[in-house]
Structure 1
Amino acid sequence: MSAELSPIDKAKFVAARRAADFVEDGMRVGLGTGSTAAWLVRCLGEMVRENGLRIRGVPTSSRTASLARDEGIEVITLDEARWLDITIDGADEFDGALNLIKGGGGALLQEKIVATASDRMVVIADAAKEVAHLGAFPLPVEVVPFGWRTTEALVAEALESMDVMGRETALRMNGTEPYVTDEGNYILDLRLGRIGNARQLALVLNQMPGVVENGLFIDICDTVVVGHGDGRLELRDINAGTVTEDRVDFADNENLFRDLGE
């Protein structure tokens, strides 16, 4: 089955497989949303079923919650957990300081709440997600539906004074209707090209009435696990200032791939 995976999927898998090693018995674990995070949930499910790992997972979306239950992971709410030992999630972009853009999957609000309620946040990503400057990926901004056009106009006005390359805004759609988040909100995607001062932009956006949260994750991520299609990976720890290399052998994970093919 591993031979049928694309190089990108292999890179996502090896990052997820290695990040799963950070999870220890008895932990309360934040479970991210998206294609890379889905690999992590599958890896943890295998460890629960085959190794007897006992964890409680706090999903960041209804999609992740459904997958976690299917994998045999005990699912609880953040209110029940109160605080988490670790959150493992993907990212749409990350820079050299491990600042992120997240929200391509539409779960940025819950993702940020869960990540900041954790002792440690680990991001899993393929190498293509690394950028010199954030902004090539459209920045998601979650807004309340009431008066969203006014909120969009306020955001566009604020961008005029921001250090960004582009200033196009668009309402995210789901077919012919606006995309609706798990919290019942809309998402504006800001096509900025390059963000000169991500910290300032995050603060300005969140001061606007109608804006619920933005997809800039500043000083939240502790570790990034970067996967490559040939099984190589890098672990970058922002707190320790270290970069270490490792490798995941696809042959050691035949059971997981077999499960995906059934």
Structure 2
Amino acid sequence: MRILFLGDVVGRSGRAAVLETLPKLRERYRADFVVVNGENSAGGFGISEAIFNELLDAGADVVTTGNHVWDQREALVFIERHDRLLRPVNFPAGTPGRGAGLFKAANGMDVLVVNAQGRVFMADLDDPFRAVEQELSACGLKSGTDAILIDFHAEATSEKQAMAHFVDGRATAVIGTHTHVPTADEFVLNGGTAYISDAGMCGDFDSILGMDKEEPIARFLTKIHSRRFAPSMGEATVCGVAIEVDDATGLAKAIAPVRLGGRLSQVEPAFWLDPA
């Protein structure tokens, strides 16, 4: 199985890049399953129902979120209508929506997607480790599903690495999101779980984490909030990772970065490209 994951979509620039690029990538890579983190896709803060549907139409099978999931207040209502939109699983009981789901890939295999949020330097939600453990216990690899992907939306790399080692051998991949900067530590752990600290963002990197530079710099200099952050509108880089799954075990055979367009160095997964 081939799983493609795209990192945090930031604003109109990132959204336009994903909507244009994803259909081509899905065909080029012959991806069986695609997950996109869309929590910054609506003006940099949250996600709207219209944008969610656009991402599905472009080829996403599941859209994950994070700490900005409720920034567009309409999400509190429309999330209940959409099984393929996830919010962090460790929100308290009674929070609208769901944090995990079992989905069908294009090749007919089942994929469990779990969306969790870290607590280090972030909001004090319920324990993400116990929440993830509960999902894996209910639907184990090769006992309840063919693959398990965890989007761990967290600030601290230590917490992300701890989650990966916590589930090593029991999940296909743990993909870090939230910090918007693609890391260079993608590898397969000893037990067969693919990992990267952050998949990066789909947005304009001539920015500060996808936002126009003027206001963040002013806040650092003056400690005064003069206006709302606004997404940068330059050419976006589409960032993510490709994961090759061993169908017999559900564990990862390989993981590689994807970076296309914009300012960053360009890279594609060699193991998915036809030889020249």
Compute the TM-score of the two structures, normalised by the length of structure 2.
0.30
Who wins on radius of gyration, i.e. which is larger? 1
- Relative contact order (alpha carbons < 8 A, sep ≥ 6): 1 or 2 greater? 1
Compute the TM-score of the two structures, normalised by the length of structure 1.
0.31
